[in-house]
């Protein structure tokens, strides 16, 4: 709960005083003043009522510019400040701080955009000057109704919940725990490690993924401040920044650490199911370990495959296995939450480049399992016992899709984005194939190659030197995969090569590898529980890609890794570390201060109709049944103002965007006198 509520101090007139407005118009070193006659604007604005000072400055954001604002606030007793300059996204905060330094409430400020939205887009000097005048006039009308506001101050429980036990979640958990905060990691699978555990060698260093993962897992599981729950399912969530309460259902694992003879127990299990760890290339038992060295180090039971025949219980000597375990629900309290659920691999449609029609067509992930020395073939390149001479790779399967060429995904959208990792992963695999099997012919069919990261281009150079044949196809005419009519090889790939100026090529292929893209996981539950913003690519959406890249718009939620978009392991760990550090900075303050532009219910006007309860995207409004009025939870409100527009009684106001303020702005823009100010 908030300690200090947002207070509108004084009357609607700002502390009860008559407005004394100071206007500072920026030349922006000519960016504005070359087009807008700033001196004329300053003069016209200076004649408006309540404007006691109006001037121009070469760079208002510079130290002398800010010093001038401070000086004039003190000298002329200004109680409202307007800066007309660039976009508020750039310098609104700068000037709020200037006001605060001069001892004026920082919210008695208005930033008018006369650069991006006037001088840079209107060439005519006269029209631009008029437009700038109109906008500043509207700002003058608007600030008259500003009231001093205080930031909301909300205490933070010194703990974090990390959702997802892959490399991003583990990295974030370790970093946060190292900073002294209690961390809970929940993982839906029975084992930690996520996607990274399934990888073989990683670019750009060529190290083995599980060897890199192992020390991280060890660090996390031994950390005194980290609690881990596997087989965990998100059930419910309440609360808000500082005090989230998440209910998690822990499904029974069926096996505990007291099991001694795991190998023998797994051997007697009669049930088999496709092994998702090997992307369906092999089968596994219903009681299984995904790989050597996993954590927890004892098996888990795949309840979908298990028939509860009891053979494993007997083999275990009735110790360590319980087939009748029931799920338990626990509540986890946390100050912040980090989303680290990762992503999924695109599953090609049946028949897409012959996938699931020809056994010779595999995905890149499957190939990486085949290349893995610990993989299903022990690292041997074998397919149906046939020797392999020609390997083909097709890029951008499920990525960079084009409308009309690729059928839409189940939700009707197409994956028009680049999955980023597949080019380098493909070329890394190609170079490894060439090194280990120099007699192979490798053909790389691409519409584009994006080896964008540090060290990535080296794989392209290496592959070129090793004689990998690159064929560039037209994205609007993707290659066709057919049975080789000559019988030279099982398949033939037909396409038009743009690198040889449109030559038609037919390449016999023994093994065709589809470089499948990355897609967002089904996060409906997560999105619903925590009110996450989702981008049009279905990945979670940050507040701003540059200014707040690892935060969600709902307060106290952070994005750790590839939940946000396609990332490789390098980027995922970097994003997770960034999320951990942002989260730690927040927790360390013990309190958070939030902007005060939230909604507030005027109780006398509220009819208690509940309409606002249903429109609030954050469930921030509840109804006080005793008083029969709506109540806004200040910690949950993000200040979108949807309820304000919805309220049939005009009982809800939004600080900074009150009806009176916006209406004054409209009237001033249209050259009409604003009505007498009511309380905004």
Partner 1 sequence: MTQVGTQTQQPGPGRTTWEPRIIGFLCYWCSYTGADSAGTARMQYPPNVDIIKVMCSGRIDPELITTAFANGADGVMVLGCHIGDCHYISGNHKTMVRMPLMRRLLAELGLEPERFRHEWVSAAEGEKFSKLVGEMTEQVRALGPLNWPRLLHERGVGHGMDLKAWGE
Identified binder of partner 1 from the candidate list 13, 87, 150, 333, rule CB under 8 A: 87
With b meaning 16 or more CB within 10 Å and e meaning fewer, what string describes 50-61?
ebbbbbbbeebb
Identified binder of partner 1 from the candidate list 615, 627, 628, 679, rule CB under 8 A: 615
Residue 602 binds partner 1 (CB under 8 A): no
- Give the separation between CA 455 and CA 460, rounded to whole angstroms: 10
CB-count burial class (<10 Å; 0-12, 13-18, 19+) for 120: middle
- Give the separation between CA 209 and CA 506, rounded to whole angstroms: 36
Which span sits near partner 1 by CB under 8 A: 49-57, 127-135, 148-156, 585-593? 127-135
Site string for partner 1, 560-589 (x = CB under 8 A): ------------------------------
Residue 123 binds partner 1 (CB under 8 A): yes
Nearest distance in Å: CB 621, partner 1: 13
- DSSP-assigned letters across all residues of 465-513: HTTPEEEEPPTTS--EEEE-TT-SSSEEEEEEETTTTSEEEEEEESEEE
> Between the CA of residue 159 and those of 149, 164, 417, what are the distances in Å?
29, 16, 35
CA dihedral 625, 629, 635, 637 (to 10 degrees): 130
Site string for partner 1, 645-664 (x = CB under 8 A): xx-------x--x-x--xx-
Identified binder of partner 1 from the candidate list 5, 13, 116, 233, rule CB under 8 A: 116
Identified binder of partner 1 from the candidate list 79, 130, 159, 230, rule CB under 8 A: 130
Which of 257/670 has CB closer to partner 1? 670
Q: Mark out the alpha helices in 88-208 (DSSP H runs).
A: 88-101, 125-143, 167-178
Identified binder of partner 1 from the candidate list 250, 330, 414, 543, rule CB under 8 A: 543
Residue 676 binds partner 1 (CB under 8 A): no
Residue 264 binds partner 1 (CB under 8 A): no
Backbone phi, psi, residue 194, to 5°: 55, -145
Under DSSP, the state recorded for 30 is G
Which of 411/504 has CB closer to partner 1? 411
CB-count burial class (<10 Å; 0-12, 13-18, 19+) for 452: exposed
Residue 536 binds partner 1 (CB under 8 A): yes
Nearest distance in Å: CB 619, partner 1: 11
- Phi-psi region at 561: left, alpha or beta (left = phi > 0; alpha = psi -120 to 50): left
Residue 633 binds partner 1 (CB under 8 A): no
Cβ atoms 8, 147 nearer than 8 A: yes
Identified binder of partner 1 from the candidate list 72, 80, 131, 472, rule CB under 8 A: 131
Residue 672 binds partner 1 (CB under 8 A): yes
Nearest distance in Å: CB 646, partner 1: 7
- Give the separation between CA 642 and CA 657, rounded to whole angstroms: 11
Nearest distance in Å: CB 131, partner 1: 4
Strand partners, 343: 520
Which span sits near partner 1 by CB under 8 A: 108-116, 326-334, 572-580, 605-613? 108-116
Residue 524 binds partner 1 (CB under 8 A): no
Per CB under 8 A, residues contacting partner 1 are 87-89, 113, 115-118, 120-124, 126-131, 134-135, 138, 531-536, 541, 543, 553, 597, 615, 617-618, 638-642, 644-646, 654, 657, 659, 662-663, 665-667, 669-672
């Amino acid at each position: 709960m908030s300690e200090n509520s947002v207070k509108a101090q004084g009357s609607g007139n700002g502390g009860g005083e008559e407005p004394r407005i100071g206007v500072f118009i920026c030349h922006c070193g000519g960016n504005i003043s070359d087009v807008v006659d700033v001196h004329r604007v300053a003069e016209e604005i200076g004649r408006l009522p309540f404007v006691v000072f109006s001037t121009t400055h070469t760079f208002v954001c510079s130290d002398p510019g800010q010093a001038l604002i401070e000086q004039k606030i003190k000298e002329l007793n200004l109680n409202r400040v307007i800066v007309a300059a660039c976009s508020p996204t750039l310098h609104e905060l700068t000037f709020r701080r200037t006001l605060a330094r001069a001892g004026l409430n920082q919210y008695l400020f208005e930033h008018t955009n006369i650069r991006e939205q006037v001088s840079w887009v209107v060439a005519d000097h006269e029209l631009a000057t008029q437009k700038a005048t109109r906008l500043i006039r509207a700002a003058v009308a608007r600030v008259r109704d500003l009231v001093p506001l205080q930031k909301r101050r909300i205490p933070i429980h010194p703990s974090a919940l990390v959702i997802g036990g892959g490399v991003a979640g583990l990295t974030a958990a370790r970093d946060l725990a190292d900073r002294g905060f209690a961390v809970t990691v929940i993982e839906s699978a029975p084992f930690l490690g996520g996607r990274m555990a399934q990888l073989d060698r990683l670019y750009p260093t060529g190290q083995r993924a599980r060897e890199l993962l192992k020390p991280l897992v060890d660090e996390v599981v031994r950390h005194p401040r980290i609690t881990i729950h596997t087989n965990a399912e998100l059930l419910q969530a309440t609360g808000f920044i500082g005090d989230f309460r998440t209910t998690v259902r822990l499904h029974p694992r069926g096996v505990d650490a007291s099991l001694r003879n795991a190998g023998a127990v797994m051997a007697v299990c009669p049930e088999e199911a496709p092994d998702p760890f090997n992307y369906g290339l092999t089968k596994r038992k219903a009681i299984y370990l995904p790989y050597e060295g996993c954590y927890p180090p004892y098996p888990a039971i795949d309840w979908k495959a298990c028939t509860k025949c009891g053979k494993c219980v007997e083999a275990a000597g009735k110790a360590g296995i319980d087939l009748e375990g029931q799920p338990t629900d626990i509540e986890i309290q946390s100050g912040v939450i980090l989303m680290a659920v990762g992503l999924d691999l695109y599953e090609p449609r049946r028949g897409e480049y012959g996938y699931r029609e020809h056994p010779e067509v595999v995905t890149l992930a499957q190939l990486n399992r085949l290349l893995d020395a610990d993989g299903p073939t022990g690292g041997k390149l074998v397919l149906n016992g046939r020797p392999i001479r020609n390997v083909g790779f097709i890029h951008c399967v499920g990525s960079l899709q084009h409308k009309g060429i690729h059928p839409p995904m189940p939700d009707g959208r197409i994956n028009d984005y680049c999955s980023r990792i597949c080019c380098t992963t493909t070329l890394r695999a190609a170079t490894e194939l060439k090194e280990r099997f120099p007699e192979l012919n490798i053909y790389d069919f691409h519409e584009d190659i994006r080896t964008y990261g540090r060290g990535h281009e080296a794989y392209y150079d290496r592959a070129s030197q090793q004689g990998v044949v690159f064929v560039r196809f037209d994205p609007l005419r993707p290659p066709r995969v057919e049975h080789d009519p000559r019988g030279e090889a099982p398949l033939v790939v037909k396409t038009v090569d743009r690198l040889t100026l449109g030559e038609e090529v037919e390449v016999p292929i023994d093994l065709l590898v589809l470089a499948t893209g990355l897609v967002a996981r089904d996060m409906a539950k997560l999105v619903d529980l925590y009110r996450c913003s989702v981008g049009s690519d279905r990945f979670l959406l940050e507040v701003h890609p540059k200014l707040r890249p690892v935060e969600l718009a709902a307060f106290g939620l952070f994005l750790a890794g590839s939940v946000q978009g396609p990332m490789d392991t390098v980027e995922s760990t970097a994003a997770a570390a960034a999320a951990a550090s942002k989260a730690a900075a927040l927790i360390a303050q013990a309190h958070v201060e939030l902007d005060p532009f939230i909604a507030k219910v005027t109780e006398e006007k509220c009819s208690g109709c509940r309409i606002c309860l249903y429109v609030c995207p954050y469930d921030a409004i509840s109804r006080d049944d005793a008083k029969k009025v709506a109540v806004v939870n200040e910690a949950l409100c993000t200040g979108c103002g949807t309820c304000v527009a919805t309220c049939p009684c005009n009982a809800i106001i939004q600080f900074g965007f009150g009806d009176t303020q916006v209406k004054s702005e409209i009237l001033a823009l249209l050259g009409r006198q604003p009505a007498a100010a009511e309380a905004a």
